[in-house]
Homo-oligomer: A and B are copies of this chain.
């Protein structure tokens, strides 16, 4: 492709994206295709000869668009946001234009140094402890990892290696494999699946400790589990605390977990992938309690900070512990500026060798939006969630399931799990809004999260309207299944002929009889 063609193609793509985002509110958030739709509609081999970009652009409309789930739609309320923004998209393009691989300083000084800069910017914006700053006196700092999963895995692996080293020094008579066989890690039963996965990958089992009724893990729970394990000869290496669980955005009590970790010489990692944004605003300043005890922390910029995925910020108190665990150098990677303090060779801080110039999109986005603009965005998510919560509270068919936090509201139809699963199913099938359900101690609930690139109050109203509409159908069906025995004062019925359900006048389930 010649430069002139690229100028045309690139500009057409810019317009395509702008048109896509401008009209995203008008299309169904979920696609209407069946599995295999695309596989079956395209050639089975690379075309022999070059195709014109206009043909390809037409296919993006014809083949790709129908199979897109619109994460940037204001009607997307599933999972957590994967926000993007116009400046971030341009940053991504520029980064692809340079196509440098920043595994060491010499491989593009701007790539490494801009990352140092924006990670310190972010640490200050989030009011993180000094020890996470590159510009502090210690050996800490931040890095952009590919994902929260990778960040947590890096923490687990570093904790594992430094523990093995320490225990081996304390007990030279123990074999390394004996030590490795006794390692144990902790998190809560509300932690993201990637925590458990990190344990599998690292071959260190995670104990997923039970949380309290608010889905919170506290120090006493950790202490109890750890002292039991220590008595049994196990060797704890890390506790991954959640600041914003995936299910309900609960906040583990870092302030009580931290001292126990510190006292027992185990790594404290804080997974603040979503709720880390709270560190930046007054309303959630209490979340910062205990952070001064953390060894590492991760926070996704594609949640509130409008930098598109992938962009998982991670801060490490003592990067040397990570470097010591992973460093495998080769002569072809050496360069004359190596080892200069304060300019990290980030390849030693992460799993892969190669790394994209991700700092560019961060820098462009943060400057375009400004610190005040980001705070405004966080507050916007909070107030939209509050608006939604009010709708729920004022409808007595529903109940709030967990305390609203940042942009997330967890709620449910009063009644049994099937009712709620049916509601999610109906909503998904109707494709007007997209939500997913959560589960806590056998209770299913619905998660409503403010996502999208530009969600407004009218979108919250639209979503609530849709939820109400589908709820009427679900409740009506449940009633029909009970052979029309619909009682006007009881909105809660059951959806299966195989069950009979008894409700009291408060719509609480008294009993369910299965045939």
* Residues of chain A from 274 to 321 with CB closer than 8 A to chain B in the complex: 302, 308-310
Residues from chain B with Cβ under 8 Å of A219 in the complex: none
Task: Give the distance in Å from the alpha carbon of A393 to the alpha carbon of B308 in the complex.
Answer: 50
Task: Give, as a whole number of angstroms, the nearest-CB distance from A351 to chain B.
Answer: 6
Task: Give the distance in Å from the alpha carbon of A79 to the alpha carbon of B67 in the complex.
Answer: 38
A507 at the interface (CB under 8 A from B): no
Task: Give the distance in Å from the alpha carbon of A309 to the alpha carbon of B95 in the complex.
Answer: 10
Residues from chain B with Cβ under 8 Å of A360 in the complex: 64
Q: Is the CB of A99 within 8 A of B308?
A: yes
Task: Give the distance in Å from the alpha carbon of A53 to the alpha carbon of B85 in the complex.
Answer: 13
Contacts A38-B114, A366-B46, A370-B47 given; does A69 touch B351 at CB 8 Å: no
Task: Give the distance in Å from the alpha carbon of A20 to the alpha carbon of B10 in the complex.
Answer: 14
A143 at the interface (CB under 8 A from B): no
Q: Is the CB of A10 within 8 A of B6?
A: no
Interface residues on A, range: 35 or more
Q: Is the CB of B200 within 8 A of A328?
A: yes
Q: Is the CB of A53 within 8 A of B87?
A: yes
A465 at the interface (CB under 8 A from B): no
Q: Is the CB of B366 within 8 A of A50?
A: no
Q: Is the CB of B18 within 8 A of A6?
A: yes
A463 at the interface (CB under 8 A from B): no
* Interface of chain A, main secondary structure: helix
A232 at the interface (CB under 8 A from B): no
Q: Is the CB of A64 within 8 A of B110?
A: yes
Q: Is the CB of A352 within 8 A of B150?
A: yes
A194-218 to B contact mask, C-beta < 8 Å, 1/0: 1011001111000000000000000
Q: Which residue of B lies closest to A71 (CB)?
A: B100
Q: Is the CB of A109 within 8 A of B38?
A: yes
Task: Give the distance in Å from the alpha carbon of A301 to the alpha carbon of B68 in the complex.
Answer: 24
Contacts A50-B369, A50-B373 given; does A9 touch B194 at CB 8 Å: no
Q: Is the CB of A147 within 8 A of B63?
A: no
Task: Give the distance in Å from the alpha carbon of A88 to the alpha carbon of B9 in the complex.
Answer: 11
**A371 touches which of B39, B48, B122 (Cβ 8 Å):** B48
Q: Is the CB of A351 within 8 A of B150?
A: yes
A404 at the interface (CB under 8 A from B): no
Q: Could you write out 17 A-B pairs with CB less than 8 Å apart? A: A1-B86, A6-B89, A9-B90, A11-B11, A33-B109, A39-B116, A46-B125, A47-B370, A56-B368, A68-B98, A71-B99, A82-B354, A96-B308, A99-B308, A161-B200, A177-B178, A200-B326
